[in-house]
Amino acid sequence: MIEDVDTATQHAATAIAEMAMREISPTPGNFCVWYNYLAGSVPELRRELDALLLSGKTISSSTIQDLFDKYFREPSAEERLQQTGDELHNTLADVIRQVTQAGLDANEFGKTLTKASGSLGTGRIDAGAMRDLVSELINATKLIGQKNQALEAQLQQSSGKIAALQTRLDAARRDALTDALTGIGNRKSFDLSIQFRAQQATEQRTDLCLVMIDIDHFKRINDDHGHATGDLVLKEFTQRCMRAIRSHDLLARFGGEEFAILLRELNPNLLPEIAERIRKEINGTPFSVADRNLEVTVSLGGSLRFAWDQLEHTISRADNALYAAKNSGRNRVVIDG
């Protein structure tokens, strides 16, 4: 719904006045709720807020926040994952109910056959009773056939829905574990992966190496050239890192301009060499982004997970090595131990 300037201005002024009267902070979310309520652009919101106002209850900031979350906020990847999982669970429960009901119907049909068998087995049944018995069997057979056809149609429909939900679930799971900007794993993905790979390394008696990387003076890049350029630097950095590591190694965005690499099945003696190769890949040539060439360097800290070591200690030692690299001048590699 597109409003003219005068109407929109009136709605905006009234929305601010309503919030002020109710001592509700004029945050963008709160303003969004009141403005759309007054404009009537979301009928469901209008009805719900009308009901709250008529009830005489105090309209608090938390109430308005709940309405904003319900009608305007896009669900996060984690929420989409949970919602899709719940829907899939409910669909599977419905399938189980359908199959269970079919089993009960078949059981009833079996009882009818048993009854008929008992009647015929006596050898003493007149023509009228025989006609009634045959009619009962025909009706029971038709009924079970119809129910089986209905069940088949329901199961086919459920099967298609389950396949669609599974696709959505896979997509939601990927979104929940993927950094939206760079396309690599996010912090949650890293946390899950390091636990799994540490357990795998323990079972296979192999080593697991961790490298933490920080882009030097990244704030300066954002301040001098803008956040859009900073985003391009992060993307280019990711691509260069992917070229420097092996296909079965894992690169994840640990947070901000800090990244982590899990190196498995690697001779620990080669860890300094791999880390140095990554450093040179980043620093080798300027980053050509946004019509400018930027000199970008990184500091790296590495650690080896020992069989008896807790994961927290492994991460802490790599992080300490990273800070040692930064404190000793940046653009260098420090390996713990």
Which positions are annotated as active-site residues? 257
Tokens describing residue 324: 């040692």
Kind plus residue range of the DSSP H or E element containing 24: none
List residues bridging with 261 in a β-sheet.
Answer: 211, 251
Structure tokens at 273: 């060499």
CA 215 to CA 296: how far, in whole Å? 7
What is the per-residue DSSP string for 220-285?
HHHHHH-HHHHHHHHHHHHHHHHHHS-TTSEEEEEETTEEEEEEES--GGGHHHHHHHHHHHHHSS
Q: How many residues are there in the chain?
A: 337
Backbone angles phi, psi at 243, to 5 degrees: -70, -25
Identity of the amino acid at 314: T
Residue 125 C-beta-side C-alpha neighbours within 13 Å = 15
Return d(Cα 213, Cα 235) in angstroms, integer: 14
Distance CA 69, CA 77 (A): 15
Amino acid at 232: L
Residue 213, H or E segment: strand 208-215
How much of the chain is in helix, strand and coil states, percent to nearest 5?
Answer: 65, 10, 20
Using CA atoms, how far residue 203 sits from 40, 119, 263, 266, 308, in Å, is 61, 66, 16, 16, 13
Q: How far is CA 249 from the centre of its chain?
A: 22
Alpha-carbon radius of gyration of the chain: 33
β-bridge mates for residue 255, sequence order:
258
